[in-house]
Each structure stands twice: as structure tokens, then as C-alpha cells.
Amino acid sequence: MTTLTLHATGPEPPGEVWERYAVPARWPEWAPQITGVDLPVGRLAAGVRGRVHAPLGVALPFVVDSVDEAARRWSWTVAAGPVRLRLLHWVADGPDGGSTTGLRVRGPAPLVLGYAPLARWALGRLVHPLR
């Protein structure tokens, strides 16, 4: 197992960045690796199960493990067959205004390292104005 932590800082306020996480229907706005989300609720909640859709018709089941709205932190586990990735996300005030977001992903090294470039790209989009 490998753990990788990534960060991105940008001008969007922390409240807006958190909302982009907290409302899964918004994930495709900033995460190019996500084309849709099936979830029985409109906002992240611990214990909720859903499916995240990726390009080429790939759909992966997930469960939201924890959500802390006040701390702007949440975690989830995504399944790819028998393989699991655990992802922890957080949003904080940026050092010069705006926000900083972080992602800690844990799983098999090839999957974690293969996902890293897409995750970096998505995190950068998350903290900047959407086009």
C-alpha cells in the first residue's frame, strides 16, 4: 500500500471550494476524470453509497466514510473490483487568501501513482474559477 498527499492553492474562497466537494453533482464541473455521480442524496453524508462515473463508461462504487462540514473534511472509499482506494479531502484558508485543498490517497502503488496526475489537475481546477 502507498499513501500520497497532494495540495493545490488558488483564489476561490474556502466556502465555495467546500461546496464543490459537498455537492457531488458538481464534481464533473472541476474533476475531468468524473463524468457523473449517482447518489441518493444531494449532499455528502457519512455512510451514503453511490457510483462515480468516469470516461469510457467506467462506473465505480463508493461509500462516503466521513464528513465534517465544520472542518471542511471528508473521506470516501472507491472500489475498482477487489481493489480499494481510500481518499481524504480537506479545504483550508489559503496562505494569501483564497483556499488550499488537499488530498491524501491510499491504495496499491500502481493505482495511486497512476491517479496522481489526474488528481493534481482536478485539485488545481477546484480552487480556481470555473469556466
Q: Is residue 29 part of a domain?
A: yes
Quick check: is 99 in a domain?
yes
Closest Cα partner for 75 from 96, 100, 106, 40? Answer: 106
Residue 35 lies in a domain: yes
Quickly state the pLDDT bin for 56 (edges 50, 70, 90).
Answer: confident
Amino acid in the structure at residue 49: R
What pLDDT sits at residue 92? 97
Residue 118 in domain: yes
Residue 105 CB coordination number (10 Å): 21
Long-range interactions of 57-62: CB distance < 8 A, separation 24+? none
**Domain range for residue 95?**
2-126
Cα 27 to Cα 17: distance, rounded to the nearest angstrom: 11
Q: Which three cell numbers stand for residue 112?
A: 495511486
Q: Is the pTM of this model over 0.85?
A: yes
pLDDT 10s digits, 100-127: 999 999 999 999 999 999 999 999 999 9
Arithmetic mean of pLDDT, 45-53: 97
The CATH number of the domain where 85 resides is what?
Answer: 3.30.530.20
- Kindly state the greatest CA–CA separation across the chain: 42
- Asked if residue 131 belongs to a domain, the reply is no
Asked if the structure places residue 89 within a domain, the reply is yes
Specify the DSSP class assigned to residue 24: G
pLDDT(81) > 90: no
Question: How many domains, in total, are found in the chain?
Answer: 1
Cell of 52: 462515480
